[in-house]
Structure 1
Amino acid sequence: MEITDLTPAERRVWEAFPRGDGVDFREHPEDSSVDGAGWGPERTVRAEVLRALLLGAGRAEEGRVAGLKIKGARIVGSLDLRYAVVDHAIRLRDCWFERKPLMYGAQLKALVLGYSTLPGLTAATVRVDVVLRLSCCRITGPVRLQGAKLSALFLQGAVIGPTAGEESDEPPLQLNHVEVGTDIIANDLTVHGQLRLNGATVGGQVSLDRARLLAPGGIALHAETLTVGTDLRAHRMEAHGMVNLTGSRIPGQLNFAYAVFVNPDGVALRASSCAIGEMWLRNCPPVQGLVNLRRSQFDLLHVPAATWPEKIRIDGLSYRTLAPHLPAQERLPALEREESGYLPYAYEQLAGAYRTAGDEAAARTVQLAKLRRHRRTLPRHGRAWGLLQDVTVGYGFRPLRAAGWLLALLLVGSVAYGLHAPRPLKAGEAPDFNAVFYTIDLMLPIIGFGQESAYAPAGWYQWLSYLLIVTGWVLATTTAAGVSRSLQRQ
């Protein structure tokens, strides 16, 4: 391409390229690329001119670093850099693109398209050595970056996806299997459709603070087997549709503080089979939809009781610490919401978390709730025996309750037999009658004070003695069972 074939606008770009100088076509700094379709020839540059410069037509001046640096241009035609090796930085800020750039398989130094408006971007398997920046872009078509290898990716403030009333047959933002050396920064990102991160590997963090992922009834964030070097932050994120993190590996924080999850007719949050350091759902409103945390492992799980939805799946979930620290009575209702029914393991996990926090009383409350829940699964005779243990000694977790029952029975027997002493079996040979020790002899046959064998009650006092003997044995048996269970736990 000869310089004589260029328009005045293109000649400015051509002459600035060897020096790496910028060309600013904007009439005002606040010009928006959204209006670029109406810009005139004084701001129009053909994509083939840019391609020619990047592929060797423009050479750096001595002592200068050549590069493409344009602001506020209307770029017509297709910027086709498929399989190209470009050694110059590409910075096309505030530009309007007539057609989507094609960069499949390209090797680039840096690509900056911030604040630009594009109908899409095809750059699967692209390699960018320094940075790929799409900050504050408005991209109406799909962004295809599958398998890309990037040093860093910036998407903050970008709006990606079809405009209102339009539909797309593929996810608007495709980052599946990308390899990012440092971070993905996507604060304030808006995606009208699915953000796909399946199989991606990020050396640093993924930041989705205040992002809006809008895929009602579908999958808003598809990030199965995502691997992150440090944290995934999503403060105040708003997700309409399922957030799917199945099989992800996040050694630091998965931080959903103040986030909103809305998928009332399906799964709102799926983080099953994950290995995560800390998961935070602090100050989140109640999740609208099902939460699935099956088979995941957390060091810290920070979930307020009010955040859990009506249905959860927590089979195989393990965690070391549960926060915030709440009374056991506030945590237990969530275990009743398990979709598959009674899970003994879930109660053991909760009790273990309380023991880790040093709250043995709460741990015992959880264990008692577990046995009560288990009782509902037993046949009728098993439920009766369990109810008896619960009422008498609280399955061994309430030992003072047994002492209360024994004291009450001792008081009843002592008063009854004190008012009407039983007759001695052998007159003149019986020891002096003592109503208290006589009652103890009846209730605890393993202890003998010589009273029961020396006296024989009659009438309803005899029936009272039978009652004391039976209840004494029951209390002794249930107390022994409870003590044995406590020793086994320890």
Structure 2
Amino acid sequence: MEITGDEIRRQLLDADALDPSGLRLTGATIAGQLDLSDVVAKRPLVLRDCVALQPVVLDRAQFTLLDLSGLVAPSVSAERVNIEHDLRMSGAVLTSADEVALTLRGSKFGGSVYLDEGFSAVGAVVLNSAKIGGVLFCQGARLRHSGSALQGVDLHVGDAIFLSHGFDAEGGERHGAVRLRGARIDGQLILRAGRFSSPEVALDLRHVKIGKDLLMPLSGIDGAVQLEGLVYEGLPRDATVDEWLSLLSTRTPYYSTQPWVQLAAAHSAAGHERDVRRIRVAAQRDLRRRGQLSRWGRAWHLIRGVTVGHGYRPGLALVWLAGVLAVSIGVVLVSGAVRCSAVEQVGYALNVATPLVKVDAARCTVAPSAGGQFVLASTWVLQILAWAFATLFVAGFTGLVRRNA
């Protein structure tokens, strides 16, 4: 069956002559261009398994329901379209020779959008600033573009987004293969069993707000990710803490504090304090490696990390303090310059090095020799170190208690 685009437009405009179920065509070839720009359709339009030889233009049109399932066309332009219920494009194949295969920029949908079950697009799929009242279904979709294969900048979805179960987006070098920067998702973002690949950024979730769960296994992401400003509820699912630590440390383009803070806050809310400390220590390591620190700032940051784990492992300072005491005892015993019994020599070593504990070692004297001078100089240095480690422990422990209060 063959029908012209002009005939479809004429029938839609003559809504009173249509059946209440709307205009329905199956397996038709659409000759000429189907241009329904600015059409206010009072009946559903259903074009299932049809073939359009030229790009389909629906800009600023209004539909109660639009079903283009199985459509084969070069491209579909539907900017600022208003659809009362659903848009269905399951199994559609768009083979654009231009940059954009499907654009729904600024469009409004009262129901859901179906780009699933074999939907295929060579060229960008653009959902920027669109508003979807229900769900965005993209399971099994296959998208290819030299830039961003799926663009959803400032997209608002009232329920969930499914980029899962066979979803495959392959992008180029300019932007993320999937770019959802600034999107708001009131339900879940589900990336389970999806694939996202790009030579550079595979997934751009900057400043995305997710009202419920984030389901994001990392095995399907082939490329870098951008996560600064990403906010989600609960614990991120489908990836372990270790996988997230690796992701944030090695697969983000640059250091950003917020993704670390968000991950730590999620685990803190779940009561996983051990994981919280691991996350915060890993964040500090990433800051030292990639953050904007001066040379001295980086050196001091390293010292704090080694001694007290940046305040999250104050027990490390006690280990260093014990090491200082052991060195002090070794210096005194080996030098032979301290004259008293071995037990009293140990007490003397603890006296001169320990800032908090004093042991009776009054009978010990230091010989006025080169060895004695070495012992005195060494114990002065060791006492400074002991005081420093004791102070670091107290400061780190106090800070840790304050953060957990």
TM-score of the alignment, normalized to the shorter chain, above 0.5: yes
C-alpha separation between the residues in 1 aligned to 2:30 and 2:330? 99
Contact persistence 1:413–1:435 (CA under 8 A): no
Residue 480 (structure 1) aligns with:
394
**How far apart in 2 are the matches of 1:250 and 1:181?**
15
* Structure 1: 4+ residue segments shifted above 6 A: none
Does the 8 A contact of 2:192 with 2:238 survive in 1?
no
Q: Partner letter of residue 158 of structure 2?
A: G
1:186 to 111, 115, 140: 115
| CA spacing shift, 1:190–1:112, aligned 2, 3 Å | same
Aligned twin of 2:202: 268
More displaced 10-residue stretch of structure 1: 414-423 or 353-362: 414-423
Instruction: Give the Å deviation of 1:156.
Output: 0.7
Separation in 1 of the partners of 2:35 and 2:298?
A: 70
Give the whole-Å Cα distance in 1 for the aligned partners of 2:159 and 2:68.
23
Q: Matches of 1:330 and 1:294 in 2, distance apart?
A: 14
Please report how far the alpha carbon of residue 283 of structure 1 lies from its aligned counterpart in structure 2 after TM superposition. 5.9
Cα distance in 1 for residues equivalent to 2:244 and 2:136? 33
Which of 26, 29, 35 is 1:96 aligned to? 29
- Identify the residue that residue 456 of structure 1 maps to in structure 2: 365
- Where does residue 351 of structure 2 map in the other structure? 441
Residue of 287, 292, 309 corresponding to 2:222:
287
Structure-2 residue corresponding to 1:121: 56
Q: Are the aligned partners of 1:195 and 1:221 in contact in 2 as well (CA < 8 Å)?
A: yes
Structure 2 residue ranges without an equivalent (≥5): 172-176
Q: What residue number does 2:7 align with?
A: 79
Q: 1:363 aligns with which of 276, 286, 297?
A: 276
TM-score, normalisation: structure 1: 0.67
Deviation, 1:333, is 5.9
- After superposition, the Cα gap between the structure-2 partners of 1:171 and 1:467, relative to the gap in structure 1 and judged at 3 Å, is same
Offset from partner CA, 1:381-413 (integer Å, 9 cap, x none): 555555555444444544444444444554565
| Aligned equivalent of 1:250, options 185, 204, 207 | 185
Distance in 2, matches of 1:268 and 1:412, equals 52
**Alpha-carbon distance change, 423 to 193 in structure 1, aligned in 2, over 3 angstroms:** closer
Counterpart of 1:246 in 2: which secondary structure? Answer: coil
Q: 1:456 to 1:373 in 2, by over 3 A?
A: farther
Taking structure 2 as the reference length, the TM-score comes to: 0.80
Contact 2:231 2:262 in 1 (8 A): no
Cα RMSD (Å): 3.4
Does the aligned pair in 2 maintain the 1:335–1:347 contact within 8 Å? no
Task: Provide the secondary structure at the position in 2 that maps to 1:108.
Answer: coil
Counterpart CA distance in 2 for 1:368 and 1:121 is 54
Identity %: 26
Q: In the superposition, relative to structure 1, how do residues 200 and 280 fare at CA in structure 2: closer, same or farther (>3 Å)?
A: same
Higher relative contact order (CA 8 A, sep 6+): 2
Following the alignment from structure 2 to structure 1, what is the Cα–Cα distance between the partners of residues 143 and 247?
30
How many pairs align? 380
Task: Map 1:31-50 onto structure 2 (within 5 A).
Answer: none
Structure 2 vs 1, CA of residues 484 and 225 (structure 1 numbering), >3 Å: closer, same or farther?
same
In the other structure, the counterpart of 1:470 is 384
Q: How does 1:141-156 map to 2 (within 5 A)?
A: 142-150=75-83, 151-156=85-90
Cα distance in structure 1, aligned partners of 2:243 and 2:215: 21
Q: In structure 2, what is the equivalent of residue 13 of structure 1? A: none
Q: Give distance in 2, aligned partners of 1:347 and 1:154.
A: 38
- Gap change, CA 1:152 and 1:261, over 3 Å in 2: same
Q: SS of the counterpart of 2:187?
A: strand
Q: Do the aligned residues in 2 keep the contact of 1:177 with 1:197 (CA within 8 Å)? A: yes
Specify the structure having the higher radius of gyration (Cα).
Answer: 1
Q: Deviations over 1:109-132 (max 9, x none)?
A: 121111111224333232222x22
- The one-character-per-residue Cα deviations of 1:23-51 (angstroms, maximum 9, x if unpaired) are xxxxxxxxxxxxxxxxxxxxxxxxxxxxx
CA deviation profile, 1:214-240 (whole Å, cap 9, x unmatched): 22x123222222221111112121112
**Distance of aligned partners of 1:485 and 1:345 in 2 relative to their CA distance in 1, 3 Å threshold:** farther
Q: Which residue of 2 aligns with 1:47?
A: none
CA distance in 2, matches of 1:409, 1:272: 47
TM superposition shift of 1:433: 7.6
2:43 corresponds to which of 82, 95, 109: 109
Which structure 2 residues correspond to residues 393-472 of structure 1 after superposition, within 5 A? 393-410=308-325, 422-423=338-339, 434-451=344-361, 455-458=364-367, 459=369, 460-461=371-372, 463-468=374-379, 469-472=383-386
Following the alignment from structure 2 to structure 1, what is the Cα–Cα distance between the partners of residues 359 and 189? Answer: 67
Matching residue of 1:205: 135
Structure 1: runs of 5 or more not aligned: 1-72, 301-320, 425-431
CA distance in 2, matches of 1:285, 1:372: 26
Question: d(CA) in 1 for partners of 2:5 and 2:238?
Answer: 57
- Structure 1: how far apart are the matches of 2:15 and 2:122? 32
